[in-house]
Each structure stands twice: as C-alpha cells, then as structure tokens.
C-alpha cells in the first residue's frame, strides 16, 4: 500500500521525501482545506523533490463551484504544473447542487494530460456517491481522494469499501482524512492500494491580536515513518 503525504509547504515535502513516502500531494493552507501553492513553491519543489508530486488546483477556499475567471486561473495553474514537469493534478468542479460538473471537470482532465488526475475531496460533498463514482470512471480519472463522506476516513470506511468494490480496477479509491499510525491498519486490511495523510505536527503557534492563534504545522518525518512501519508490518 502506497502512502501519499499531503504536504502544505516546501519543508513538508522535503520531510515526506526523507521519510520514505511514495508520493506527495502539494498544497498550501491546510487549515482551510488546501489551496494551490505559490509559483515559487512549485518551482522549488520541481527542482528538489524526486518522488512523484501531485498539485492541488483550487483557487480559493469555500465551495467547489467556480466563476469563469476562477476556472481560467485553474487552467493556467495546470499549465504551470505541466511546464514544471510535475506528476499530477488534484482538482475537480461541482455544480451548485453538489453534483459533479462533468463538462468543466472533463476540461481539467484533458488539459492535465499526460499528468495523472485525482478528483479531490469535493467528492465528499456529493449526494449520490455511487453515481458520482461512475461518472468519474467514465471521465477516466486516475483516483478519487475521499473520506467516505465523513469527517474522518475511519468513520467512512464502510462506504470507502463499497466504492472500492464498485470501482474494481477502473480507478483508485484513495482514503484520506485523519489517517495515522493508530488506524492505518484498517485500510491495509481492507485492501486499499493507497492512502493519504498529512502526518502533521504543530511546530509553533503565532499569537496575534489581528489573526488569532494560528498554528504552523509541518509533515513530520517521525510520524510518516511510524505510518510506513505499520503499513509494512500489517
């Protein structure tokens, strides 16, 4: 079973690589669900990271319905990732009723080629996961990052198992959210091919009268290695 680390910074990505992670999902601002990292971070990552890097393409926090202008930004960001030679794109678009926006998602997938395409946790907002899964199979996405429509993947594991059974070998169901060394065995035993974790720890808390107490987190080498050990031994 492969371990993808959700890295929120350059340092998190370096730590993931040092610890032996199989792949990185690169983003920024995990506290708001993640947004697209800066151009500077993308350039540095492309120079220093040798394991596969998939980049989150999400122009802002909030819902997954985008204006024409926001959609153009997303497409431009995909072109930048392609120019840097990165491995894949993590993105997706929903309609106002939380169904998958087939037209726009397909456009992002086509633009991303030959990079891989992961449909991100917008999937956890859909009202009909089985129908949405089939739509994404038809669109030929490579994987779906999902917590099984629950806050934590361990709580959504029964739906995750059902989705994996329905998907067969047509795409990868990538469980994510709250996966750690204490519960990763559940996903290994259930036969998932890949899992997703930030493996993060708080390294400082900035106390500010303007912005409140904002924690700074980083993916931890020690935490990643603990998860990998359980995967190996389970």
Q: What is the mean pLDDT of the chain?
A: 96
DSSP 102-161: HHHHHHHHHHHTTSEEEE-GGGGG-S-HHHHHHHHHHTT-SEEEE-SSSSSTTTTHHHHH
- How many C-beta atoms lie closer than 10 Å to residue 228's C-beta? 19
Query: What does the block give as tokens for 53?
Result: 């890097």
- What gap in Å lies between CA 41 and CA 196, rounded to an integer? 21
**Confidence at 102, pLDDT banded by 50, 70, 90:** very high
CATH of the domain at 108: 3.20.20.380
Domain assignment of residue 41, given as a range: 2-233
Q: Is the pLDDT of residue 165 over 80?
A: yes
Report the number of distinct structural domains present in the chain.
Answer: 1
Of 6-10, 128-132, 163-167, 214-218, minimum mean pLDDT range: 214-218
- 54 near 89, Cβ under 8 Å? yes
Q: pLDDT tens for residues 18-34? A: 999 999 999 999 989 99
**Residue 228: is its pLDDT beyond 80?**
yes
Q: What percent of the chain has pLDDT over 70?
A: 97
pLDDT at residue 212 in the model: 66
**Which position has the token pair 């959700």?**
6
Q: What does the pLDDT average to over 213-218? A: 84
Q: Is the pLDDT of residue 150 over 90?
A: yes
């Amino acid at each position: 079973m492969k371990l993808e680390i959700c890295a929120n910074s350059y340092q998190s990505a370096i730590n993931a690589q040092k610890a032996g992670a199989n792949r990185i999902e690169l983003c920024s601002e995990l506290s708001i669900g993640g947004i697209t990292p800066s151009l500077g971070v993308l350039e540095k990552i492309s120079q220093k990271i040798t394991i596969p890097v998939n980049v989150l393409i999400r122009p802002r926090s909030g819902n997954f319905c985008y204006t024409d202008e926001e959609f153009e930004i997303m497409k431009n960001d995909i072109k930048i990732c392609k120019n840097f030679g990165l491995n894949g794109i993590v993105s997706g678009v929903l309609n106002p009723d939380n169904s998958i926006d087939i037209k726009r998602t397909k456009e992002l997938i086509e633009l991303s080629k030959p990079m891989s395409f992961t449909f991100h946790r917008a999937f956890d907002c859909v009202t009909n996961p089985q129908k949405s899964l089939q739509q994404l199979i038809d669109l030929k996405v490579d994987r779906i990052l999902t917590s099984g429509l629950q806050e934590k993947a361990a709580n959504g594991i029964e739906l995750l198992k059902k989705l994996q059974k329905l998907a067969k070998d047509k795409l990868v169901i990538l469980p994510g959210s709250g996966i750690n060394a204490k519960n990763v065995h559940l996903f290994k035993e259930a036969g998932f091919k890949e899992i997703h974790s930030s493996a993060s720890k708080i390294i400082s808390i900035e106390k500010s009268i303007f912005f409140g107490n904002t924690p700074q987190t980083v993916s931890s080498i020690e935490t990643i290695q603990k998860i990998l050990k359980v995967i190996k031994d389970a």
